[in-house]
Amino acid sequence: MSARRHVIIGAGLAGALLALLLARRGHRVDVFERRPDQRLRGYEGGRSINLALARRGLSVLEGAGLGDAVLRRAVAMRGRQVHPLGAEGSFLPYGRSDAECIWSVHRGRLNHLLLDAAEAAGARVHFHHRLGLVDFDARRAEIIDDRDRRMRWIDFDALLGADGAGSALRNAMQGHADLHPETAPLDHGYKELEIPPLPGGGFRIERDALHIWPRGGYMLIALPNTEGTFTATLFLPHKGRMPNFEDIETAAQARAFFQHTFPDALALMPAFEEAWISHPTSSLATLRLRHWHVDSRAVLMGDAAHAMVPFHGQGMNCAFEDVAALDRLLALHGDRAEAFAAFEAERKPNAEAIQAMALENYVEMRDSVDDPAWRLQRALELQLAERHPGRFVPRYSMVSFTRTPYAVAFERGRWQRTLLADATRGLGALEEVDLGALDARITAELAPLPVEWLETAR
Ligand code: FAD
């Protein structure tokens, strides 16, 4: 493919990575980013300070030559540390070995690394520059410099949209393609809090775990950061009969709620009131589109195409897979409209599958992790995974530790979950399960996963 000029909207996680990959191929790349350059001002925070990076996301970063650099800035999480109310906590490993883990990465630092690499490869990132209107017929886009509100029009062959859940490009595309956007807001929101390091340094709770305080209907989680802090996130209904954000009007009420519901977590947060007041309560939603592109003129990826609720920790991972696919397909197809159509056909079913799994995972995290029936199913699941490696792979593992396409993981996961539920119904212990019968069914009905999806260990 001959060198082309690519215009990317948004220099978040997806946009910065796409800029890097396209610039490495020798293309001229211009990225327009609404925010200031955070590398100069420091990360402003705001939402989801740290993110869980899974095998599939790491694979894409490795392909871009950044795997080791990212892992040096990450904390491995090898399982869930569950904190029930008034009872002893327990650690549930994610996988069969320590190699099956996810990594906690700092959003700002990861973004900085991607931006540095993209610029080093030759991409030009224009900060403070926001996409406004788009004239698709003339292939011209209005770019507004937010420092002085000056606007100018730029010519484009195609606009590559990585401008997040509130995408301006998506809004502009609506008049030109049957996008049919559907936003399904979650009736639960979230607020971030912080667990600082111990006074002499070091982590206050187990470092290598994703911590969960499940409370049936809502929950608190915490992910570690390299410097000894944890970012804790409270997920709670916006309103209703259960504890909810609307009813907690003051920091004193929030403390009383935590004292009653998460006393051990509250003890880890000396600056609780300050964080409660200064951090916003934010909303979550699932966004579905009928189409992701306008012929050869524009395409959407990442949250702009398929924002999802964060309960599988896959939004960024999915966005990275989008970027790798788009880069590959643009190189493969001389015709850009063909590349965009192939991209949509490949990625949309997978995005829809992970959106559905993310919604299901919320119920699992907040309601099921301390339920005995659920725990028995998970124990059997790990046992079957040992007996049928590469064939019976738990759904969480397929999503987090392999590169199995999400749509395949969703389908196989459904079959496996029915098997687990049927095999444990009415039973109290693993020893009562008829493993021989299950082995026979699995061998007969479940094909092994292709080895290229299974590379897990590092
Ligand atoms: P963004 O990261 O939102 O980037 C979009 C960029 O476009 C921004 O820089 C923005 O400033 C810019 N922009 C917006 N409008 C314009 C405009 N008009 N012109 C120019 N630029 C514009 N994912 C995981 O994989 N693991 C997790 O553990 C995880 N946890 C999460 C927890 C929470 C609470 C939330 C809310 C999300 C979480 N996610 C997680 C999802 C993840 O944050 C997103 O999927 C990811 O950020 C998507 O990347 P993106 O580049 O598509 O969008």
Quick one: how far is CA 189 from the chain centroid?
16
- Please check the confidence at residue 1 and state whether its pLDDT lies above 50: no
pLDDT in tens, 393-424: 999 999 999 999 999 999 999 999 999 999 99
Q: Do the Cβ atoms of 447 and 391 come closer than 8 Å? A: yes
Q: Which of 205, 218, 204, 210 is nearest to 257 (CA)?
A: 218
H-helix segments, 279-394: 303-306, 315-332, 336-363, 372-387
Ligand 1 centroid to residue 423 C-alpha, Å = 40
Q: Which one-letter amino acid corresponds to residue 286?
A: T
pLDDT for 5 equals: 86
**CB under 8 Å to 203, separation ≥6 — which residues?**
197, 224, 228, 230
Which DSSP helix (H) or strand (E) runs through 107? helix 107-120
pLDDT band at 307 (very low <50, low <70, confident <90, very high): very high
pLDDT in tens, 234-282: 999 999 999 999 999 999 999 999 999 999 999 999 999 999 999 999 9
Quick one: how far is CA 409 from the chain centroid?
16
Q: Helix-strand-coil percent breakdown of the chain, rounded to 5?
A: 40, 20, 40
Ligand 1 centroid to residue 69 C-alpha, Å = 21
pLDDT for 258 equals: 98
* Residue written as token pair 């092994």: 448
* Residue written as token pair 């919604």: 359
Quick one: how far is CA 203 from the chain centroid?
24
- Paired tokens of 450: 């292709």
Protein residues whose CB sits closer than 6 Å to any atom of ligand 1: 9-15, 32-35, 47-48, 51-52, 130-131, 162-164, 168, 190, 233, 302-304, 310, 313-317, 319
The atom number, within ligand 1, closest to the CA of 11 reads: 9
The helix/strand/coil state of 49 is coil
pLDDT for 344 equals: 98
- Please check the confidence at residue 292 and state whether its pLDDT lies above 80: yes
pLDDT in tens, 9-61: 999 999 999 999 999 999 999 999 999 999 887 655 444 589 999 999 999 99
Q: Do the Cβ atoms of 224 and 232 come closer than 8 Å? A: no
pLDDT band at 456 (very low <50, low <70, confident <90, very high): low
Considering only CA atoms, which residue is closest to atom 45 of ligand 1?
315
Q: Are strands 5-9 and 28-32 parallel, antiparallel or unpaired?
A: parallel
For residue 279, the tally of other CB atoms under 10 A from its CB is: 19
pLDDT for 3 equals: 66
- Please check the confidence at residue 66 and state whether its pLDDT lies above 60: yes
Ligand 1 centroid to residue 320 C-alpha, Å = 11
Ligand 1 centroid to residue 317 C-alpha, Å = 11
- Paired tokens of 63: 């392909």
pLDDT for 42 equals: 61
Q: Which one-letter amino acid corresponds to residue 247?
A: D
pLDDT in tens, 146-156: 999 999 999 99
Ligand 1 centroid to residue 165 C-alpha, Å = 7
pLDDT for 46 equals: 46
pTM of this structure: 0.96
Considering only CA atoms, which residue is closest to atom 37 of ligand 1?
310
* Residue written as token pair 């009813």: 247
What is the DSSP-derived secondary structure letter of residue 452? G
Q: Tell me how far CA of residue 222 lies from CA of 22, 176, 208, 255, in angstroms.
A: 35, 43, 11, 18
Q: Tell me how far CA of residue 304 lies from CA of 110, 160, 162, 385, 424, in angstroms.
A: 19, 10, 6, 36, 41
N-term to C-term CA, the chain: 34
Which DSSP helix (H) or strand (E) runs through 299? strand 298-300
pLDDT in tens, 308-357: 999 999 999 999 999 999 999 999 998 999 999 999 999 999 999 999 99
pLDDT in tens, 82-135: 999 999 999 988 877 888 899 999 999 999 999 999 999 999 999 999 999 999
Query: In angstroms, how far apart are the furthest CA atoms of the chain?
Result: 72
pLDDT for 50 equals: 92
Q: Do the Cβ atoms of 438 and 419 come closer than 8 Å? A: yes
Considering only CA atoms, which residue is closest to atom 4 of ligand 1?
12
